[in-house]
Structure 1
Amino acid sequence: MALQTLSSPALAAARSEFTGGRGYLAACTVGLPTRATRAAVIAELDAAAAGRPDPSAASAAVERSRALFARLVGVESRSVAIGSQVSVAVALVAASLPHGAEVLVAEGDFSSVVLPFVHAGRSLRVRAVPLADLAGSVGATTALVAFSLVQSATGEVADADAIVSAAAAHGARTLCDATQAVGWLPVEASRFDALVCHTYKWLCAPRGVSFLTLSDDLAREVPPLFAGWYAGGDPWSSCYGGDVELAPDVTRFDASPAWQAFVGAAPALALFASLDGHAVHEHATGLAAAFRLRLGLGRPDRASAIVTWADPDGAALSRLADAGIVASGRAGRARVAFHVFNDEEDVELAASALGR
């Protein structure tokens, strides 16, 4: 059934927004720019080179991007802060925890989700357990569970329902990194106390655009450590001195935006916000399932758009590269990803390159 969505007009139109894609199975590493993103960035650079930079238009692109991301994850814009790095957003949440608090993380999770707690300077106790044991390991001393919804190294999809339920039962908060999820997996940010996401992978935006969502309750406890001029209620009147009134909502955690990146992000986010997220999920996981079948890999507990398998010597990755296929290797595993710009031909090309 999943592969039937390939013929849907909306997904076919979305695929036409990309000039490349054939043989590109690395959206989990970096997404491909859309035609509109490329055009917007080039136009902005050309205008600046001609002596006509437009900061106001760039700021408008920031707000469009914020609103579009909010729509993608089902929250209001006031609950979304902008940034450029996931680790900085995670560090803000780490700074809200009391000294000695326990933070529960998944073994082998992406470092940007873990290191801010390890080096928070607040004597936080970071406890790592296997992803499958995360929910069952939440206890009375756990202050926060921090995890990636989709694991970068393995493509495993976390059991968010179980984790959120266990955290609630023990009075713990949750921080979810959705960088490897938003764009192919429907995500509801309001389920988590905090959600972080960089958009340069599955949302196909330029690198330098990230988002942080916070519940109202947690937002009251997070210190605006990185407050700058963009953290004011009106950034353009918050440029000087320390007597600045910060924004009354989550936007007070805004970092000064990388303008050109947001100019390119707005059209990419608009594309994904216009799509049926469940159809994209069926498409991407359907292709991944077909590839897993060709390779004789077992079915995962929860469908993923990322397929990985043991490749300690890099032989599989080399065979894919020799066939002109762009894939990636992580933690001794070969890794391929299927996105809106891929179709059944990409499954066939990759499987054939591996002799399957």
Structure 2
Amino acid sequence: MNDELISQLRSDIPYIHDKIYVDNASVTPIPTQVQLASEHYNRIVSERLREYRAASLPFFDKGRALAAKLVGSRPDNIAYVQNTAHGLSLVALGVGWRPGDNIVVCAEDFPSNYLCWVQLAEMGVDVRQVDSRAGRIDVSDVREVIDSRTRVVSVSHVQFYSGFRVDVAALGEICAASGALLVVDGTQSTGAIKLDVLAAGVDVLVVSAHKWMMGPRGIGFASFSERALGAITPRVVGWLSVNDPFAFNRKLDFLPDARRFEPGTANGSGILGLAERLAQIDELGIDRIEERILSLSRLLRERAREQGLELVYDFDGRNGSGINLLRKPGTPTSETHANLTANGIFASIRNDAIRISPHYYNTSDEIERIVMVMSSERHGPA
């Protein structure tokens, strides 16, 4: 991406016009065109109430098709979900658990990909936790705890607390051999890092739009493999989960595709905004987006080393992501964070470190500025 294109893209993101925003692993700003797309849905409802369903359906279909293209799935295998917790809970509730079954999770994973599984212990499910090693999830550690009673292995593609990108393809091979479903939280990667669910053997991928996707809040999508569609029963059921819903029938004949997991009235504003954002990602190309993000992260780490900042983790290559954790030796993290904020630089604190997560719209000059402020002896605006 050249400077002219980056400048053009930045002009459509109002929030970053007067600040340096590198907190995309938390929430992202949304482009104006995404905002307008979301508002368009309410305009359809307001002005064309009697035909709003038919008028909005092409946008819903467009979103499914583009989501499928982005992650290597099929439109029929895409369901819209409210958020990561909602999507993962659909899986947790929908597996036909039996006492003595087990689920493998990562002990330090984000709570949305942890709590929904831990609750299964009340049903007699053995919740097996794999600890990280220096921020890494070692595939061999996961393999050691899988057995013939493992029904699900759930992992985040990118770990929120360290930035480590898990080798989900290797996990996919293990799960396929054991018969377990591989469930992946893609919220810290999708929209920033390429993942082909079919090639990697991912059975369920759940994504919230409000992080790296740069989409609306309260909307996301889930991709189900054919194996997952056969193994997971909808437990949150409504009139739109079944065939011919406008017959208002009482027969529980689930739709043949992933729409069975969409039980009722959809978040139309969110879906239209998400569809627009997916179109933008498709136009830019996920390969170019990933290359840009990883390049900015490499520059950040290089400059941080030069200025004597501590890299809490230093992952690169296939284990790298857009998440970077830095500390200034001898300075409390809260003080460093406050200094960044005073200088109009917005990041998060995770693992007692500054988590800096640049997106493609950030610039090399902004990266230089961040390192300069972090390494400076001055406090307050520099």
TM-score w.r.t. structure 1 length? 0.89
Structure 1 218/344 Cα, relative in aligned 2: closer, same or farther at 3 Å?
A: same
State the Cα deviation string for residues 304-327 of structure 1 (Å, max 9, x = none).
Answer: 111123587422221211111111
> Cα–Cα, structure 1 residues 222 and 174, in superposed 2: closer, same or farther, change >3 Å?
same
| 1:38 aligned onto 2:43 | no
Q: How does 1:212-251 map to 2 (within 5 A)?
A: 212-234=222-244, 237=246, 240-243=248-251, 245-251=253-259
1:25 maps to which residue?
A: 22
Picking from 320, 324, 333, the partner of 1:303 is: 320
CA distance in 2, matches of 1:250, 1:42: 26
Counting only pairs closer than 5 Å after superposition, residues 278-289 of structure 1 correspond to structure 2 as 278-289=287-298
1:145 aligns with 2:145: no
Aligned 8 A contact 1:96 1:221 in 2: yes
Check the 8 A contact 1:23/1:349 in 2, yes or no: no
1:260 to 253, 269, 286: 269
**1:349 and 2:359 are equivalent in the alignment:** no
Q: Which amino acid aligns with 1:259?
A: G
* Shift of residue 258, structure 1, vs aligned partner: 1.0
CA distance in 2, matches of 1:233, 1:315: 57
Which is worse superposed, 75-84 or 333-342?
A: 333-342
- 2:109 & 2:154 partners in 1: Cα distance? 9
Rg larger for: 2
Matches within 5 A, 1:1-356: 5-7=1-3, 9=5, 13-21=8-16, 22-45=19-42, 54-94=52-92, 95-99=94-98, 100-120=100-120, 121-131=122-132, 132-138=137-143, 139-141=146-148, 142-190=150-198, 191-234=201-244, 237=246, 240-243=248-251, 245-256=253-264, 257-296=266-305, 297=311, 299-301=314-316, 302-309=319-326, 313-355=333-375
Change (3 A) 1:233 1:326: farther
Any unmatched runs of 5+ in structure 1? Answer: none
Kindly provide the CA deviation profile for residues 102-134 of structure 1, in whole angstroms up to 9, marking residues without a partner as x.
Answer: 111112101111111111342221111124234
> Which letter maps to 1:129?
V
Q: Is the 8 A contact 1:135 1:163 kept in 2?
A: no
Between 1:345-354 and 1:250-259, the stretch displaced more is 250-259
Amino acid at match of 1:98: W
Contact 1:194 1:215 in 2 (8 A): yes
Aligned residue type for 2:119: H
Identity rate of aligned residues, in percent?
Answer: 25
Letter in 2 for 1:124: V
**Partners of 1:331 and 1:234 in 2: CA distance:** 50
Q: Is the CA contact (8 Å cut-off) linking 2:326 and 2:353 kept in structure 1?
A: yes
- Partner deviation per Cα, 1:78-123 (whole Å, 9 max, x = no partner): 1111110222222222231422321111121011111111113422
Cα distance, 1:246 vs structure 2: 2.4
The CA RMSD measured in Å over matched residues stands at 2.5
SS of the equivalent of 2:21 reads coil
Amino acid at match of 1:96: V
Change (3 A) 1:42 1:220: closer
In the superposition, the TM-score normalised over structure 2's length comes to: 0.83
Query: Could you tell me which amino acid in structure 1 is paired with residue 26 of structure 2?
Result: T
Question: Are the aligned partners of 2:81 and 2:220 in contact in 1 as well (CA < 8 Å)?
Answer: yes
Contact 2:236/2:263 (CA < 8 Å) preserved in 1? Answer: yes
When the two structures are aligned, how many residues end up with a matched partner? 349
CA deviation map 1:336-356 (0-9, x unaligned)? 111122111220221122026
Query: Aligned in 2, Cα 1:263/1:234: closer, same or farther, shift over 3 Å?
Result: farther
Which moved further from structure 2: 287-296 or 154-163? 154-163
**SS across alignment from 1:202:** coil
